[in-house]
Structure 1
Amino acid sequence: MSKVEADILVAIQKRLFDAPLVLPLARGMSLFGEHAAGWMGSGLVLAAVDQRRRGRWLGLSTAAFCSHAASVIIKRIVRRRRPHDDRIRIGVGTPSRLSFPSSHSTSTTAALAYAAHVTGSPAPLVGVPLMMASRLVLGVHYPTDVAAGAALGWLSAELVETLLEDKLKEIV
């Protein structure tokens, strides 16, 4: 772990960890993003209610699932440990001790970048830095973990958009 990244986490936590509503919101986002389940479920719900774009919304679930799977594989290869500096408070439990890349940042970026494609609006992308920040506030990732996760998520969304889009549009 680099001292610089630990210092960044400490500075973020000093400003935000005890701020009203920040910790409950960050924990809620963590629960929603766990194993990409909230994003995959969102894609399924949207596919059910938006018949015209059903296949495209299934693409959101696909992007979330594939990006999450990729992040888990990379975590097992890289094997970077989660933050463990005594100054860093851990605000939520985690399913593993592995940190790089952040799976929450990966699947969130994949889902929201894909949603931006579907809707033609950049508005869904607002959620990406919020999820990234939540992982830092909770003390479970380093800044490079969330940045790499976001990059992997963006790549995943673009790949699903490129490779599967024609097939997914046909699903009605």
Structure 2
Amino acid sequence: MSKREADLLVSVQNVLLNEPVARTARALSHFGEHDLGWLATAGVGVGVDKRNRRKWLAMAAGTFVAHAASVVLKRIVRRKRPTDPRIVIGVSTPSTLSFPSSHSTSTAAAMVHLADISGSKLPYVGIPVMMLSRMVLGVHYPTDTLIGSLIGAGVAKAAIGLEKETR
């Protein structure tokens, strides 16, 4: 990969990589693995928030489709995860493919849905948090997380639009 992206990733780790941050990043990694944390969140929402049940179902569909799209793109693009010896790898991954970040994709989709459900912009803070966590762990380049987040947000906007059209 480009030296510039590897240098940026090393800079992120130099600033943010310490045990409390790495521990939090690993927890986010486990929560976001295969979209399972966001699907579980949507499932709880469906069960407890009857008034917004359709929105929670849209969230489940949106994060699932976003995650699936990222997996398909990974197999097409086949960009390898960071291998620069200066980069510390802080978590195991299910594949060696990096682009786009599936965690960033499904998290961005989830945050856009949660903003829609709650009527608050506060969930958007979760997008850069997940993006940074993937870089702190050394498993994604910055563009992996950025493009993944854009894909996830776009899929969520489409799912929200479909949910509103079918009311």
Q: TM-score, normalised to structure 1's length?
A: 0.94
Shift of residue 31, structure 1, vs aligned partner: 0.3
Shift of residue 165, structure 1, vs aligned partner: 3.2
State the distance in 2 between where 1:94 and 1:77 align. Answer: 18
Query: Aligned letter for 2:6?
Result: A
Shift of residue 163, structure 1, vs aligned partner: 1.9
Query: What is the aligned partner in structure 2 of residue 74 from structure 1?
Result: 73
1:95 aligns with 2:94: yes
Query: What is the aligned partner in structure 2 of residue 16 from structure 1?
Result: 16
Matched residue SS, 2:111: helix
Query: What is the aligned partner in structure 2 of residue 140 from structure 1?
Result: 139
User: How big is each residue's C-alpha offset from its partner over 1:6-53, in whole Å with a ceiling of 9 and x where there is no partner?
Assistant: 0011111111112x4101100000000000100011001011111111
Query: Aligned letter for 1:100?
Result: F
Query: What is the aligned partner in structure 1 of residue 36 from structure 2?
Result: 37
Query: What is the aligned partner in structure 1 of residue 7 from structure 2?
Result: 7
Query: What is the aligned partner in structure 2 of residue 84 from structure 1?
Result: 83
Shift of residue 136, structure 1, vs aligned partner: 0.3
Query: Aligned letter for 2:152?
Result: G
State the distance in 1 between where 2:150 and 2:93 align. Answer: 21
- What is the total number of aligned residue pairs between the two structures? 167
State the distance in 2 between where 1:71 and 1:137 align. Answer: 20
Unpaired runs of 5+ in structure 1? none
| Contact 2:10–2:86, Cα closer than 8 Å, also in 1 | yes
1:108 aligns with 2:107: yes
| Contact 1:36–1:68, Cα closer than 8 Å, also in 2 | yes
| Contact 2:112–2:153, Cα closer than 8 Å, also in 1 | yes
State the distance in 2 between where 1:68 and 1:85 align. Answer: 26
Unpaired runs of 5+ in structure 2? none
User: How big is each residue's C-alpha offset from its partner over 1:50-70, in whole Å with a ceiling of 9 and x where there is no partner?
Assistant: 111111111111111000000
| Contact 1:82–1:142, Cα closer than 8 Å, also in 2 | yes
Residue identity (%): 52
State the distance in 2 between where 1:139 and 1:116 align. Answer: 28
